[in-house]
Amino acid sequence: MRRYILRATLRCHTALHLGGLASTPATDKSLARDGQGRLYLPGTSLAGILRAMIETKDKEAANALFGYQKYQEGQRSALLVNHGYFLPGFPMPEIRDLVHINPCWGVAENQHKFDMEVLPADAHFSLRLEYLDYAGENKKARQEAAHEAFMALTKTLIPGTTLTIPEKTLTPIPGTTLQVGGGFAKGLGRIGVTDEQDIAIWKFEFPCTEAAKQYFQLIRLENEQTSWSVVPYKCDIPPLPLKEINATWLPVLPIEIQLNLIATGPFLISRDAQGKTVDREPYQENGRYVVPGSSIRGALRQRAMRIVNTLLQSWGYYPTEPQTWTDVGESIIEALFGSTKKASILGVSDCLLPKEAVLQEVHNVAIDRFTCGARDGRLFSSYVFWSKNKPLPLDLSITIKQRRLENSEKDALLGLLAHVLYDLATEDIAIGHAKTSGHGRVKGCKLTIQNWEPEKEPITIADFANLSKVYAQHLQQLQSAFMQWLKTKANELVGKNICQNH
């Protein structure tokens, strides 16, 4: 019998919202707190996330590690997942304002403004897992499956993980992120271990007396510590070297797309300025300017809908009354962006702007459409990012959940996303505030795609001008799959009397 104890510090790569009961009228959605008022990640939520990772590869291994119940049969979990508690000394919760955008008109819906309590990026949480590697002689196969699943899970959490396949070693994964809490589509809830110093694993072989003594010594030191540290204070029990953690397989990881952009002109995603001399100012959390992922995702969704409806119209498909092109587009792109009836598989993380980002005050006035003169009392001002000497960098991160992605739709949806990202990288999509005034144009510098195909190197694109020449085979495959999938979807809509073909 063996026992493993894993202790780690999880860092929030983006803002985090894990909902709990509203404890204050100051916000519509508050964070989860325990009976002592401490912010925490429930162990059940963490266990569900970890189990979902394993199930993408091997459902039987997930049952062996996390347990299952099926009619009169079942098995208890071999993995104990503790609550993860917020570590003091890091960014405190803040209130984020949100509003629902009408997909048809692209403006804010009336009476649809709400706010939520979030933990900003760089907040830290504790993580503790304990695995009991014992299933009895009559269940040895299940024991081995559970052990392999735990090793795969541990290997995935370690930053710089590589999986060596015959005659090839893949590029190290910089750090697998877990999706915790709500707001995946808005870019919330990305957490993970960012440094090898932030994770430690101990192994105890029973019934060895020395192993039992070390195990209970570690438990005692854990209970005595007053502040969190990966290795408890005064612990002289050496953890396993991370290089000795071996796994024969890894879970199916989400597709990670990194798009490096620069703003080619004035840029602003704004909110009401409170107590300032201007009317609008950028979002700011934990002293850093933030471009909310929900704003970028909204712009991408609108362009995807425009592409779909333009193609359908060119093929002779038209919406039936009282349907509109918005209804047709929504019914198709919900496979990628989700809807109120279907969860999204695509999330766009917040962009943290560099600390050296420079703001400039800009004054505007509303013009009367009839007299062409300035309207009385309509002078307003805002802070915008506008640097003539050094363009503002924006690092866009997009995550696609492969476990919710049908194999038959994978290439088709990636083809649609490729069209949208190409428009964004070539300054054809404006994002943020005052788009009609020339704000929000961005240009692509580099695109990196990881985990598109298992056990293959990441795809890197640095030359968008010659994109069709360098990646002709990939693009042709994606475009063909997208066109065929779209025509199939359109014919389905004809059968549902949402669309008609002339």
Condensed to tens digits (0 to 9), the pLDDT of residues 111-144 reads 788 888 888 888 899 999 999 886 554 577 788 8
Average pLDDT over the chain, rounded to an integer: 81
pLDDT at 201: 93
Q: Please check whether residue 481 lies inside any domain of the structure.
A: yes
CB-based contact 179:189 (threshold 8 Å): yes
Q: How confident is the model at residue 472 (pLDDT cuts 50, 70, 90)?
A: low
Instruction: Answer whether 362's CB lies under 8 Å from 433's CB.
Output: no
Burial of 214 (0-12, 13-18, 19+ CB in 10 A): middle
Residue 408 shares a structural domain with residue 471:
yes
pLDDT of residue 316: 84
Domain check: are 208 and 290 in the same one? no
Q: What is the mean pLDDT of residues 398-408?
A: 78
Residues 236 and 264 in one domain: no
Assign 360 a pLDDT band (cuts: 50, 70, 90). Answer: confident
In a domain, 360, yes or no: no
Taking residues 67-94, report their average pLDDT. 86
Strand partners, 10: 125
Looking at the fold, whether 238 and 259 belong to one and the same domain comes out as: no
Q: Is the pLDDT of residue 388 over 80?
A: no
415, two tokens: 């083809």
The pair of structure tokens assigned to 211 is 């192993």
Q: How many CB atoms within 10 Å of residue 15?
A: 31
Domain assignment present for residue 66? The answer is yes
101 assigned to some structural domain: yes
Q: How confident is the model at residue 157 (pLDDT cuts 50, 70, 90)?
A: confident
* 371 located within any domain: no
Residue 466, pLDDT score: 64
In a domain, 235, yes or no: yes
Do residues 234 and 264 share a domain? no
Average pLDDT over residues 346-374: 82
Confidence grade of residue 15 (pLDDT, cut at 50, 70, 90):
confident
Same domain, 196 and 263: no
Whole-number Å distance between alpha carbons of 1 and 203:
11
In a domain, 379, yes or no: no
Q: What is the largest CA-CA distance in the chain?
A: 92
User: pLDDT (tens digit, 9 = 90+) per residue, 189-235?
Assistant: 888 888 888 999 999 988 888 888 998 999 998 898 888 889 988 88
Domain range for 102? 2-244
- Please indicate, yes or no, if residue 375 is contained in any of the structural domains: no
CB-based contact 257:448 (threshold 8 Å): yes
| pLDDT at residue 60 is higher than 70 | yes
> Is residue 204 domain-shared with residue 316, that is, in the same domain?
no
In 3D space, the residue among 460, 489, 180 whose CA is nearest the CA of residue 347 turns out to be 180
- What is the rounded CA–CA span in Å between residue 75 and residue 433? 54
Residue 193 sits in the same domain as residue 259:
no
The pLDDT of residue 92 is 81
Q: CA torsion 366→369→370→371, rounded to 10°?
A: 40
Q: Give the per-residue pLDDT at 275.
A: 58
215 and 259 housed in the same domain: no
Same structural domain, 198 and 132? yes
Which residues, 6+ apart, have CB-to-CB distance to 51 below 8 Å?
62, 65, 66
Has this prediction a pTM greater than 0.85?
Answer: no
**Pairing assessment for the beta strands 317-319 and 374-385 based on DSSP bridges:** unpaired
Considering the domain architecture, whether residues 220 and 313 belong to the same structural domain is answered as no
Residues 25 and 91 in one domain: yes
**How many structural domains is the chain composed of?**
2
Given a cut of 50, is residue 166 above it in pLDDT?
Answer: no
Q: Which residue has the higher pLDDT, 100 or 413?
A: 413
pLDDT tens for 95-104 read: 887 777 776 6
